[in-house]
């Protein structure tokens, strides 16, 4: 099947909600999103053929799956630059870590928001990690937790993810989906596997 004919999975529109973006759908193959002010246009889609042209107002492109080398070359000629690679990880809630022991000085707080739930880890009442999860129909979609100089970054990050895994399990969701940085995807923990790659491009 041609990459231009692939319909996007449902988690891709939820990924916009997870980042406080407003999504629209020009067609089944693309998601266009903007920030809350209507600016910062972003296009998410599978890698297109080199005949595809980015919208003139786009400032960021996100491509799923294996790269198309001829499209890469064309984008570079048009002033686009590859800025980051992330990975979609998938795991079943019952197969991934659900409990992480925190230090006596740490706390964990949960807050339901309109489009996602927030979990925050604190140490001496100072936030050290914060993550989000959107509840989809058959999955929980998570972002890689933000870290704020914790003494133990690995434990703080794992605590956020474990709390969400427990929440997804209690809600009967069969899957967890995590958009992880390249660094964290390389340290693949038990129960997680790589589902696809996200390539981020920014216009110079």
- 18 pLDDT above the threshold of 80: yes
3-state helix, strand, coil in the chain (%, to 5): 25, 40, 35
Whether the per-residue pLDDT at 70 is higher than 60: the answer is yes
pLDDT tens-digit readout, 85-142: 999 999 999 999 999 999 999 999 999 999 999 999 999 999 999 999 999 999 999 9
Task: Report angle CA 44, 27, 39 to the nearest 5 degrees.
Answer: 50
| One domain, residues 182 and 136 | yes
Residue 172 lies in a domain: yes
Q: Is 202 part of a structural domain of the chain?
A: no
Q: pLDDT band at residue 189, thresholds of 50, 70 and 90?
A: confident
Number of domains in the chain: 2
Please report whether residue 55 resides in a domain: yes
Which neighbouring-strand residues pair with 187? none
Stated pTM of the model: 0.92
- pLDDT for 5 equals 56
The answer to whether residue 130 is domain-embedded is yes
For the domain that residue 85 is a member of, what is the CATH number? 3.40.1350
DSSP-assigned letters across all residues of 75-117: HHHTTEEEEEEEEEEEE-GGGS----PPPTTEEEEEEE-SS-E
pLDDT of residue 2: 43
Of 128, 188, 129, 140, the residue nearest 164 (C-alpha): 140
Q: Of 70, 89, 108, which residue is a domain's last?
A: 89
The answer to whether residues 14 and 66 belong to one domain is yes
**Residue 173 belongs to a domain with what CATH number?**
3.40.630.30
What does the pLDDT read at residue 204?
82
Structural domain containing residue 19: 3-89
- Judge if 110 and 177 occupy the same domain: yes
């Amino acid at each position: 099947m041609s990459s231009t004919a692939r319909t996007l999975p449902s988690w891709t529109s939820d990924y916009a909600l997870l980042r406080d973006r407003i999504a629209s759908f020009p067609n089944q193959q693309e998601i266009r999103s903007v920030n809350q002010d209507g600016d910062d246009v972003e296009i998410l889609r599978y890698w297109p053929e080199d005949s595809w042209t980015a919208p003139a107002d786009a400032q960021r492109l996100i491509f799923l799956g294996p790269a198309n080398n001829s499209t890469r070359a064309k984008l570079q000629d048009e002033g686009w630059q590859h800025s980051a690679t992330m990975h979609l990880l998938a795991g079943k809630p019952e197969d991934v870590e659900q409990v992480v022991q925190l230090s006596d000085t740490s706390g964990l707080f949960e807050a339901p928001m309109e489009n996602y739930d927030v979990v925050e880890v604190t140490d001496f009442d100072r936030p050290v990690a914060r993550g989000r999860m959107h509840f989809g129909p058959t999955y929980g979609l998570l972002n890689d937790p933000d870290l704020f100089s914790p003494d133990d970054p690995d434990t703080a990050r794992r605590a956020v993810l474990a709390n969400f895994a427990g929440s997804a399990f209690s809600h009967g969701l069969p899957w967890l989906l995590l958009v992880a940085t390249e660094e964290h995807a390389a340290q693949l923990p038990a129960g997680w596997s790589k589902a696809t790659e996200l390539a981020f491009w920014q216009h110079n």
